Amino acid sequence: MEKTLVIIKPGAIKRGLVGEVIHRFERKGLQLCGIKMLQLTDEILAEHYAHLVQKPFFKRIKDSMMITPVIVCCWKGLDAVHIVHEMAGKTNGREAALGTIRGDFSVSSQENIVHTSDSVENANEELARFFTDAEIFEFDQVGLSGLYANDEI
């Protein structure tokens, strides 16, 4: 099963949406395998958003991501990267479909509640950036047989 990263951003923390975000992924049937709160630094943001460092809006991203600590989560499930990314919705909350996390809780391209990995490769890199192996846990998920067909797991 795949694992993927979700960062619950400062805007969600300030608005008291942490439980709602986690609840949505749990209701979908994904398994929470790691979670912690941390304060992002210039260094980690430059690494995480390396593809955006030279963009004129990078300072806005950095400033926004450092307003409060963030919560980083590792979620696991079949096709978890795709599922989580789709559940988040389009980056710009004004364009995100209703029913998605951003579509329901965001009206901004920056203050858009969550960051999600967009590929399996990026998920692996991002999880390694924010978690040690000892911080990601493997355990049996109750009700797994009710989530997947016998030949899927």
- Domain-embedded: residue 147: no
pLDDT at 130: 98
CA distance 49 to 120: 17
To the question of pTM greater than 0.85 for the whole model, the response is yes
pLDDT at 143: 81
Tally of structural domains, the chain: 1
Which of 84, 76, 72 lies closest to 129, judged by CA?
72
Catalytic residue among 23, 48, 51, 115: 115
- Domain-embedded: residue 149: no
- Domain-embedded: residue 65: yes
What are the backbone dihedrals phi and psi of residue 145, each rounded to the nearest 5 degrees, phi first? -65, -20
- Domain-embedded: residue 138: no
pLDDT for 146 beyond 90: no
**Residues of the domain holding 84:** 2-131
Cα of first residue to Cα of last residue in the chain, in angstroms, is 8
The band of 27, judged by pLDDT with boundaries at 50, 70 and 90, is very high
CATH number at residue 113: 3.30.70.141
pLDDT at 8: 98
* Strand-strand pairing, 2-8 and 70-77: antiparallel
CA distance 17 to 2: 25
- Is 82 marked active-site? no
- Domain-embedded: residue 82: yes
Mean pLDDT value of segment 69-79: 98
- Average confidence score pLDDT of the chain: 96
